[in-house]
Structure 1
Amino acid sequence: MNGVQLLLVIVGAIAVSGLAQRRGLQPALVITLVGFAVSFIPGLTRIELDTEIVLGIVLPPLLYSAALNFSFVSFARNFRPIVGLGVGLVVATALLVGVFAAWVVPALTLGTAFILGAIVAPPDAVTAVAIGRKLGLPKRVMSILTGESLVNDAAALTLFSITLAGVVGTHTLFANPVLLFLYSAIVGVAVGLLLAVVATVIRRLLKDSGLETVLGLVVPFAAYLLAEQIEASGVLAVVAAGFAIGSSSSRAGYQTRLQERQVWSSLDVLLEAFVFAYMGLQLRFVMEDLTAAGDSVWEIFGVGLLVLLVVLLIRPVWVFVSFGRHFLLDRVMRRRIASDTRVQERIRVENEQRIARGRRPRQFPVFLNWRESLVVSWTGMRGVVTLAAAAGIPLALADGTPFPGRAEIQAIAFIVAVGTLLVQGLTLPALIRSLHLSDPRQEEFDREQAEHALEVAQAASAGVYQRFLASPPEGVPPELLERMTQMVKRQSADAARDPDPDATSAYGEAFGTLYREVLQAQRNAVVDERDANRLDDDAAREFLEQLDYQEAAIVSRLGYRL
């Protein structure tokens, strides 16, 4: 693919994505179908990217961006369902699809069939989360879907890399695939965490939002390449680095956070649109490869529909088996506690101790009900990771022979991705509406959490005001001190209010310094409250964004004096 072709694909994909969003359509599906139609233009040559470009350049920033924006607190709170869906279901899907595909597709060996299984295993939560947010899905369901998307991408791509290495014949540290998987996962996470620590230290030393943002753009590629160099999972390294840096982002400068929100949002749109367009443009030539290999296009299409059916069935079975198991365990636990006064007393004492330490009392685990489980079971739309992995299959093995079954794998992966978008993506909104899942108390809960965040922030401000009044800056008349503190209190509670004093006033510098100290104290207090699990993650995120915009306003008004 030359530079002109690449530019045309990117511009076209962005234009189609914008038109699809304006029409209320799914951009991923529309871009793929338009790319497929464009590929039949007479004289259009095949557009082919190197495997390393697809896997090493496209995927790392997408995974890193998702990890940055997901709270580790939410991940820990929903650890069991996230890991169950993101790891257990992915492995089960890869194995079952691999065995089935090896049975029904003569061109696939067991190894290449497992590659197909790993490719179609991870669902893409982008569409499901967007639909769920619009229709008011419970936040717990949204957190599980978002967390699953991160974990399942990493698990599936790690399986993909291991099975691909085994088929291609490249050297690996361990011949045993289980040991290789464990090494790849553990070392990959360690590399990501180590790089996150280094990047965080460097960012604190830079103190320049532009350079910090550029460093953030480099981190996912560095994590991926470094892990891959030592034969660990580059994908897990990227996700671990994103988690670690995202959890410490509140300590970065407000300018860096504001810039990164816009940069990563734009980059996500660009890369996702490109991947769907690229795969759509490949399909005509994949069909030609099938014909050249002596395969019937219609036969492969039929096989692809069978694999799609297997993929659609595995997730509901897994979800409802887990739901039934959790329901039974919950009933048994409640009956045991209700019949044992000693256990009740132990729980009561433990909760009193937790409350005394400022923590929430221990409660029963809250599992998904059957309606929430039904929605989760129907959110298995495949997307950018499936298509990118399919496009990343090399043309040849290590000995130079053509990769066996490459065209069949890519064609089936496309059928599964488009099929899930059509079947599940188009019916999911109607399913959510019919189940009436929106919580009538959610709005009240959100309001209470927003008020709690404000209370925590105002309490944190008190110490700053006391220090300011006890040791006022030189040159500020005593009669203005109380007025300044009252002004800061009012404006800290209203993000839309402009900083009051004129930059030319005598006390503008002192006002700005006090204001920023208050904002930083509020920010630290809200983060601590969130990390202690006493404040909802969404409420904390919204409040922290308000503080960033408030700080940007005060610096814009009084910047040269600060």
Structure 2
Amino acid sequence: MDQSIALQLLVVPVAAVAVAAVSRRRGWPAPLLLVLAGLVLSPFVPEYALDPEIVLLVFLPPLLYSAAIDSSYLGLKAVRRPVALLSVGLVLFSTLVIGWVVHLLLPDLPLAAAFALGAIVAPPDAVAAVAVARRLGLPRKVITILVGESLFNDATALTAYRVAVAAALGQGITWLGAVGQFAYAAVGGAAIGLVLAWLLSKILRALGDALVENTVMLLTPFGVYLAAELAHTSGVVAVVVVGLYIGHRLPRSGFGTRLLSGAVWKVMDFFLESVVFALIGLQMWPIVTALDWSEPLEPVGTALAVFAVAVLVRGVWVVPATYLPRLLFPGVRRREPEAPSWQHITIVGWAGMRGVVSLAAAFAVPEDFPGRATLLFLTFTVVIGTLLLQGLSFPALIRRLRVSNEREAFADDLAEAGAQQAAAAAALARLDELVADGVADVHREVVEQLRLRAERRTLSAWERLGGGTGPGGEDTPGTVYRRLRREMLAAEREVFVRLRDERRIDDEVLRRVMHELDFEEATLERD
């Protein structure tokens, strides 16, 4: 490979990671800063049109899988109604409304092509919204709804998009056929996902090797997505189903598997999301230059109108979709006696930032598609507009509404303390059984150390309820223990490094003892 080409391929990810690193250090929303950086640099870098196959095969599956294994299956099950109304109902509603508006504004554009644009810009990408929501401490239910929507709405939108594109190209798609194709894609994707998830869980359990298990899990989203797409079903649904299944069963895996999995997917998410949002901004120049600017007010006016409709249609849907089921169905009121607050509804309604899936779908439109250049420009405007307008104002909106998860966080700490106490009681009871039965021939000092360890974990959980301070504001014993132990570990590391530098121990020995010290320090974060 030519060195200049290799350098160009390396510049985007390196620059994206650098911008994301600065954002994290400053506490700024990294996705938005990456988009802005891409917009600024777009005219000055070699023109690159986003390859939809790369996005839909390389970026989308691992990001969906990572979000799914990190999600709560039980939590999503509890909010399945609002998630379905957003990920299916809202996407289809947005497709129809935006499609009709575009057809009215551009009567020369076929109705099917206008609906294709509606499907392209219908699904929000909740990555930026969820990142802000977690940082600012939104209630868990709101975050779960946003995550659930982002997991499934791409499947709805991409299926509707394929149907609309086929109709626009004159491939004889009927309404009945469109519904059947949609149902086949969704149900087939879920079925393939369940089968592959069950098979994969058996394979992972048989492996019993943390490194190999995580390598298999790295390949899983790509293999699952391809398998479902080859069967002409939804690869997105299949990947999400597998991720939820594996994530739900992950606590029963070995500790090494979980430790590696958490680290691997955090790095993967950080890298892929950084590159994806940078690529969004970098698409400005090739999209803008491909458009006919002989009458500049027409495309700009149309773009602003479509952008406004894309923002408003979400609010129009969210309010009745929240309250109408409660009014019409008594079962909903029985299951959910407390109605969602208007603050939560406002936040969900404003979390409509579009992302790279919309751009990838737009670039995947065939070259002979009617109005392709206009479609790309309108998609780019909606994506950039929602990311900047809603993304930049989202933190201020959350603060303005004074929504937080303080009560929820206290309830979590209280539940954790109770669970820690129950677990410690079970552990101590098992220790007593082993000692009484003579299974464990141990010294009394060892038994006491194990008792103290179990009791200290329970005490630390209760201490967290007070923020690590006692009644008079003084540090609790657990807090003092952690601070002193960290200082001791730092001193130990200095000795080991000095001995390595003096060639009194080998680097292999240093790595082994460092691993042990690092693992102990990591446990101090939660002890």
Q: TM-score, normalised by structure 1?
A: 0.75
Which of the numbers 470, 490, 507 marks the counterpart of 2:455?
A: 490
User: Residue in 2 aligned with 1:259?
Assistant: 260
- What is the CA distance between 1:51 and its match in structure 2? 3.0
User: Residue in 1 aligned with 2:187?
Assistant: 186
Q: Is the 8 A contact 2:86 2:153 kept in 1?
A: yes
SS where residue 109 of structure 2 aligns? coil
Give the AA of the match of 1:208: D
User: Residue in 1 aligned with 2:471?
Assistant: none
- What is the CA distance between 1:245 and its match in structure 2? 0.8
Which of the numbers 28, 31, 46 marks the counterpart of 1:28?
A: 31
Q: Does residue 447 of structure 1 match 2:413?
A: yes
Q: Is the 8 A contact 1:326 1:367 kept in 2?
A: no
Matches within 5 A, 1:351-370: 364-370=336-342
| 246-255 vs 402-411, greater mean Cα deviation | 402-411
User: Residue in 2 aligned with 1:347?
Assistant: none
Matches within 5 A, 1:185-224: 185-224=186-225
Give the AA of the match of 1:221: F
For structure 1, the 5+ residue unaligned runs are 335-361, 397-401, 499-548, 557-562
Give the AA of the match of 2:314: R
User: Residue in 2 aligned with 1:529?
Assistant: none
- CA gap of 1:555–1:318, structure 2 versus 1, over 3 A, is closer
Q: Does residue 465 of structure 1 match 2:431?
A: yes
Give the AA of the match of 1:489: A
User: Residue in 2 aligned with 1:415?
Assistant: 381
Q: Is the 8 A contact 1:272 1:384 kept in 2?
A: no
- CA gap of 1:487–1:473, structure 2 versus 1, over 3 A, is farther
Q: Does residue 39 of structure 1 match 2:42?
A: yes
Q: Distance in 2 between matches of 1:184 and 1:35?
A: 35
Which of the numbers 355, 358, 363 marks the counterpart of 1:383?
A: 355
Q: Does residue 434 of structure 1 match 2:400?
A: yes
- CA gap of 1:96–1:174, structure 2 versus 1, over 3 A, is closer
- CA gap of 1:77–1:137, structure 2 versus 1, over 3 A, is same
User: Residue in 2 aligned with 1:93?
Assistant: 94
Give the AA of the match of 2:247: G
User: Residue in 1 aligned with 2:16?
Assistant: 13
- What is the CA distance between 1:137 and its match in structure 2? 2.2
| 64-73 vs 409-418, greater mean Cα deviation | 409-418
For structure 2, the 5+ residue unaligned runs are 462-477, 483-515
Q: Distance in 2 between matches of 1:126 and 1:76?
A: 20
SS where residue 43 of structure 2 aligns? coil
Q: Distance in 2 between matches of 1:554 and 1:369?
A: 41
Q: Distance in 2 between matches of 1:165 and 1:332?
A: 40
Q: Distance in 2 between matches of 1:131 and 1:165?
A: 37
User: Residue in 1 aligned with 2:314?
Assistant: 315
Q: Is the 8 A contact 1:66 1:150 kept in 2?
A: yes
User: Residue in 1 aligned with 2:511?
Assistant: none
- What is the CA distance between 1:410 and its match in structure 2? 1.9
| 376-385 vs 225-234, greater mean Cα deviation | 376-385
Q: Is the 8 A contact 1:59 1:388 kept in 2?
A: no
User: Residue in 1 aligned with 2:390?
Assistant: 424
Give the AA of the match of 2:451: Q
Deviations along 1:137-178, whole A, 9 cap, x unmatched? 222222222222212233223323443455467899998111
Give the AA of the match of 2:243: G
Q: Distance in 2 between matches of 1:235 and 1:173?
A: 24
- What is the CA distance between 1:365 and its match in structure 2? 3.6
Give the AA of the match of 1:245: I
Q: Distance in 2 between matches of 1:454 and 1:113?
A: 56
- CA gap of 1:240–1:57, structure 2 versus 1, over 3 A, is same
| 204-213 vs 239-248, greater mean Cα deviation | 204-213
User: Residue in 2 aligned with 1:102?
Assistant: 103
User: Residue in 1 aligned with 2:346?
Assistant: 374
- What is the CA distance between 1:478 and its match in structure 2? 6.0
- What is the CA distance between 1:232 and its match in structure 2? 0.6
Q: Distance in 2 between matches of 1:174 and 1:155?
A: 16
Give the AA of the match of 1:454: Q
Q: Distance in 2 between matches of 1:232 and 1:464?
A: 49
Q: Distance in 2 between matches of 1:429 and 1:94?
A: 28
- What is the CA distance between 1:222 and its match in structure 2? 0.6
User: Residue in 1 aligned with 2:158?
Assistant: 157
Give the AA of the match of 1:483: E
Matches within 5 A, 1:264-279: 264-279=265-280
Q: Distance in 2 between matches of 1:465 and 1:483?
A: 10
Q: Distance in 1 between matches of 2:294 and 2:72?
A: 47
Q: Distance in 1 between matches of 2:203 and 2:57?
A: 24
Which of the numbers 405, 427, 430 marks the counterpart of 2:371?
A: 405
| 186-195 vs 362-371, greater mean Cα deviation | 362-371
Q: Is the 8 A contact 1:28 1:383 kept in 2?
A: no
Q: Is the 8 A contact 2:12 2:275 kept in 1?
A: yes
Q: Kindly, what percent of the aligned residue pairs are identical?
A: 39
Give the AA of the match of 1:453: A
Q: Distance in 2 between matches of 1:435 and 1:329?
A: 29
Give the AA of the match of 1:55: L
Q: Is the 8 A contact 2:29 2:132 kept in 1?
A: no
Q: Is the 8 A contact 2:122 2:157 kept in 1?
A: yes
- CA gap of 1:32–1:364, structure 2 versus 1, over 3 A, is closer
Q: Is the 8 A contact 1:323 1:369 kept in 2?
A: no
Give the AA of the match of 1:268: D
Give the AA of the match of 2:124: P
Q: CA RMSD in A?
A: 3.3
Q: Is the 8 A contact 1:286 1:410 kept in 2?
A: yes
- What is the CA distance between 1:196 and its match in structure 2? 1.3
Q: Is the 8 A contact 2:424 2:455 kept in 1?
A: no
- What is the CA distance between 1:263 and its match in structure 2? 1.6
User: Residue in 1 aligned with 2:499?
Assistant: none
Q: TM-score, normalised by structure 2?
A: 0.80
Q: Distance in 2 between matches of 1:21 and 1:104?
A: 42
Give the AA of the match of 1:444: F
SS where residue 47 of structure 2 aligns? coil
Deviations along 1:303-355, whole A, 9 cap, x unmatched? 11111111111111112113332554589998xxxxxxxxxxxxxxxxxxxxx
Deviations along 1:391-412, whole A, 9 cap, x unmatched? 4x1443xxxxx33322222211
- CA gap of 1:101–1:219, structure 2 versus 1, over 3 A, is same
- CA gap of 1:50–1:165, structure 2 versus 1, over 3 A, is farther
Q: Does residue 84 of structure 1 match 2:85?
A: yes
User: Number of residue pairs matched?
Assistant: 468
Q: Is the 8 A contact 2:32 2:391 kept in 1?
A: no
Q: Distance in 2 between matches of 1:252 and 1:172?
A: 47
- CA gap of 1:162–1:233, structure 2 versus 1, over 3 A, is farther
- What is the CA distance between 1:199 and its match in structure 2? 1.5
- CA gap of 1:250–1:106, structure 2 versus 1, over 3 A, is same
User: Residue in 2 aligned with 1:526?
Assistant: none
Q: Distance in 1 between matches of 2:83 and 2:274?
A: 27
